[in-house]
């Protein structure tokens, strides 16, 4: 006997493709926007707004909101000196970073740039909290290195929004701010030697160069989109090839 919970028809209708980050939007039964990502073994569904998994955290919209409220009750600024985060809070916050990062990647593929920026900033707030209130141990330094990806996503979103509005100079400034923030983050984590060779630094510099390429806008954006997907899938070899392809287009006249 067939079951209404059987997902086979849905999976057959949306085939998985190797090397492709498949994502789409749809409306829920109540009309809210949902995001789905196709994986080899199935489909994951996320809320487009609020916490990606739709779960509240102690009555708050996110773990970050809950922890900030707890710290405010204890007194002092939420990201300043004072009481340290508990091990459970650190674990919950770290897990939330992964959820928001997954949604940001899907939104980037779907070119929902304001949502990409929103989720990246959410994670940057968490990482700042982990740095200022976390236990001073190697895990704290390791978590700081996660900031590089969030800065990259934030800048990519800001560049896309600026370019869509015809504000090319604003896009360049966003990249410059991002590179400065990246360098400061690597310095703070005691990994300044990793800054120059990090994929995030190379990506932002490639993006900076692409602003001056004499490549038709539609083709340039397609190459940028493919490079972003390659980075999101951790296919750094393909990302490097696409970056070099952009560079070989030469400077604009």
Q: Give the residues across from 170 on adjacent strands.
A: none
Confidence class of residue 237 from pLDDT cuts 50, 70 and 90?
Answer: low
Q: Tell me: the pLDDT tens digits for 38-67?
A: 988 899 999 999 999 998 777 889 999 999
Across 153-164, average pLDDT: 93
Question: How high is the pLDDT of residue 225?
Answer: 73
How many other CB atoms sit within 10 Å of the CB of residue 21?
A: 19
Burial class (CB in 10 A: 0-12, 13-18, 19+), 211: middle
Query: b or e along 160-169 (b: 16 or more beta carbons within 10 Å of the residue's beta carbon)?
Result: bbbbeeeeee
Q: Answer yes or no: is pLDDT of 248 > 70.
A: no
Across 69-94, average pLDDT: 77
Q: Give the residues across from 60 on adjacent strands.
A: 57
Question: How high is the pLDDT of residue 78?
Answer: 52
Lowest mean pLDDT across 40-44, 80-84, 101-105, 167-171: 80-84
Please name the residues in contact with 155: beta carbons below 8 A apart, sequence gap of 6 or more.
174, 175, 177, 178, 204, 207
Q: How far apart are CA 253 and CA 251, in angstroms?
A: 7
> What residue has token string 């926007």?
33
> Do 81 and 111 contact (CB within 8 A), yes or no?
no
Please give the span between the terminal C-alpha atoms of the chain, in angstroms, as a whole number: 67
This prediction has a pTM of 0.79
Q: Answer yes or no: is pLDDT of 253 > 50.
A: no
- Radius of gyration of the chain measured on its C-alpha atoms: 20
| Domain ranges within the chain, ordered by starting residue | 8-247
Tokens representing residue 3 in the block:
């079951």
Confidence class of residue 110 from pLDDT cuts 50, 70 and 90?
Answer: very high
Q: How far apart are CA 191 and CA 61, in angstroms?
A: 34
The dihedrals phi and psi of 163, each to the nearest 5 degrees, come to: -65, -35
Q: Answer yes or no: is pLDDT of 7 > 90.
A: no
Q: Answer yes or no: is pLDDT of 145 > 70.
A: yes
Burial class (CB in 10 A: 0-12, 13-18, 19+), 90: buried
Question: How high is the pLDDT of residue 99?
Answer: 95
């Amino acid at each position: 006997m067939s079951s209404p919970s059987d997902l086979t028809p849905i999976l057959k209708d949306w085939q998985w493709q190797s090397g492709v980050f498949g994502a789409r939007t749809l409306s829920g039964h109540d009309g809210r926007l949902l995001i789905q990502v196709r994986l080899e073994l199935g489909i994951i569904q996320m809320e487009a707004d609020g916490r990606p998994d739709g779960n509240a955290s102690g009555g708050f919209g996110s773990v970050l909101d809950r922890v900030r409220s707890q710290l405010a009750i204890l007194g002092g600024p939420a990201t300043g000196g004072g009481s340290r985060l508990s091990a459970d809070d650190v674990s919950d916050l770290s897990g939330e970073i992964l959820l928001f990062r997954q949604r940001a990647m899907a939104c980037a593929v779907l070119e929902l740039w304001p949502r990409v920026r929103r989720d990246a900033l959410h994670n940057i707030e968490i990482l700042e909290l982990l740095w200022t209130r976390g236990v001073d141990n190697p895990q704290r330094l390791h978590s700081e290195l996660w900031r590089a990806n969030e800065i990259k996503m934030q800048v990519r979103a800001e560049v896309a929004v600026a370019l869509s509005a015809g504000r090319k100079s604003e896009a360049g400034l966003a990249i410059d701010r991002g590179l400065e923030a990246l360098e400061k983050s690597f310095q703070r984590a005691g990994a300044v030697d990793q800054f120059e060779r990090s994929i995030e630094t190379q990506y932002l510099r490639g993006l900076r160069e692409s602003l001056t390429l004499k490549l038709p806008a539609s083709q340039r954006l397609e190459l940028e989109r493919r490079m972003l997907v390659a980075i999101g899938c951790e296919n750094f070899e393909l990302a490097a090839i696409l970056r070099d392809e952009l560079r070989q287009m030469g400077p604009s006249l």
